[in-house]
């Protein structure tokens, strides 16, 4: 489902991969049935490939990881969140974001 530089996130690995990461992490909350999520996927993959090593990018399927989705109150997909130092620092709801918008969220 995800590209080579995208981590598949779950309820079990979210803390280790996102909250304890030493770099900013962009998390794409998604679902297999979500059309807008599929439209956004290539943009997320481009950012993951372009900034590999500088930032982490992960995808979390809300149906497969309901605890994390509930904890962060993800009510609509796609939702993008950026985490730094274990804290959520930015978020965006919807597929109406481009590569530059994602990068700005990560660098902000």
User: Is 37 annotated in the active site?
Assistant: yes
* Residue 39 in tokens: 């439209």
Q: What is the CATH number of domain 6-107?
A: 3.40.30.10
pLDDT of residue 24: 96
* From 7, 27, 34, 48, active-site residue: 34
User: Is 34 annotated in the active site?
Assistant: yes
Cα(41)–Cα(57) distance, integer angstroms: 11
Q: Give me the half-sphere count of Cα atoms (radius 13 Å) on the Cβ side of residue 38.
A: 4
* From 2, 37, 57, 74, active-site residue: 37
Q: What is the mean pLDDT of each run of 10 residues along the chain (108 residues)?
A: 86 98 97 97 96 96 97 97 97 96 93
pTM of the model: 0.95
């Amino acid at each position: 489902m995800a590209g080579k530089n995208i981590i598949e996130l779950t309820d079990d690995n979210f803390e280790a991969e996102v909250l304890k990461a030493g770099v900013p992490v962009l998390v794409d909350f998604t679902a297999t049935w979500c059309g807008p999520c599929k439209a956004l996927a290539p943009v997320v993959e481009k950012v993951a490939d372009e900034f590999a090593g500088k930032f982490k990018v992960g995808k979390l399927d809300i149906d497969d990881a309901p605890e994390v989705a509930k904890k962060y109150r993800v009510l609509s997909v796609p939702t993008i969140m950026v985490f730094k130092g274990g804290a959520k620092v930015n978020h965006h709801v919807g597929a109406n974001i481009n590569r530059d918008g994602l990068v700005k969220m990560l660098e902000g």
